[in-house]
Structure 1
Amino acid sequence: MVCLSVMLSACAATAKQACAPGEQRIVSDMVYFGTARPTGTVAPEEWDDFLRTEVTPRFAQGFTVWRANGQWRTADGSIVREASYVLSLVHPDDEASDAAVGAIRERYRARFEQESTLRVRHAACASF
């Protein structure tokens, strides 16, 4: 319990640190999208269309994507290894951006029959 308290206080201290002059507080999200589906895999053309129709309208200011290979445990306990995509989004820490990330994840799950996507969110400072 003491270890958890120390870890949580360290997280709180990190989140309250001020940004350097010329920087602004932002959120850095990385969202992981698997490509295996019950009827095959998500084709590169389908991924490109998803980026064009779902991601770009929500994050027109920009984003970064790369291909990856991953592994995860499904709800039934089996291990799945699959090709995946990682989407990196840098955005303001506001409700609209948070809702946009949630909508992208939900649209991907529904469109490509996915059990889940993974979102990793970090507070950070950025300058442009």
Structure 2
Amino acid sequence: MRAIPILGLLVLATLAGCAPASRDEALCARFGAHRGIEISLLFGLTRPDGGVVTDAEWADFLRREVTPRFPDGLSVFQAMGQWRDRVSGQVTAEPSRIVWIAADASAPDLRARLDAIRAGYRHDFQQQSVGLTIRGGCQTF
């Protein structure tokens, strides 16, 4: 068995750890973009009593709670969602909204802003949860 010099192992370990980030940075640079994250917030529109969050209520929530926390821009998509009730175990389909936000992951208050939106919606519309998905990517505007 042939031994690899310690310095060689350190170089390989360093390159292995940086290679994905370097590739991502190079890909972003190719398009004049920078690294960032994509956030999706998933809002169900059916209330526990069977009523629905109206378009006017949704627009008001978006105006009061979401837009002030992400004034640089966001997108809202209408969707049909499906989820399992935590109490009954029943799978339910319902109309929903997806708010998509491109953000700088290094913003120090990002989590607090997202937590406030999610908590506000759960409170205002008696929801068990508001979904949150985050993934990395490249951004330029």
Q: TM-score range by the shorter chain?
A: 0.7 to 0.9
Q: Kindly, what percent of the aligned residue pairs are identical? A: 38
Q: Which runs of 4+ in 1 moved over 4 A?
A: 12-16
Moved more, 31-40 or 81-90: 31-40
What are the equivalent positions in structure 2 for 1:39-78 lying under 5 Å apart? 39=49, 40-76=51-87, 77-78=89-90
Match of 2:46 among 33, 36, 53: 36
The number of equivalent residue pairs is: 117
What are the equivalent positions in structure 2 for 1:64-103 lying under 5 Å apart? 64-76=75-87, 77-93=89-105, 94-103=107-116
CA 1:14–1:73 in structure 2 vs 1: closer, same or farther (change >3 Å)? Answer: farther
Unaligned runs of 5+ in 2: 1-17
Q: Does residue 114 of the first structure (1) align with residue 127 of the second (2)?
A: yes
Q: Structure 2 CA distance, aligned partners of 1:30 and 1:63?
A: 10
Secondary structure of 1:84's partner? strand
Higher relative contact order (CA 8 A, sep 6+): 1
Unaligned runs of 5+ in 1: 1-11
Q: Which has the higher helix share?
A: 2
TM-score w.r.t. length of structure 1: 0.84
Q: Which has the higher strand share?
A: 1
RMSD across aligned positions (CA): 1.7
Q: Structure 2 CA distance, aligned partners of 1:105 and 1:78?
A: 23
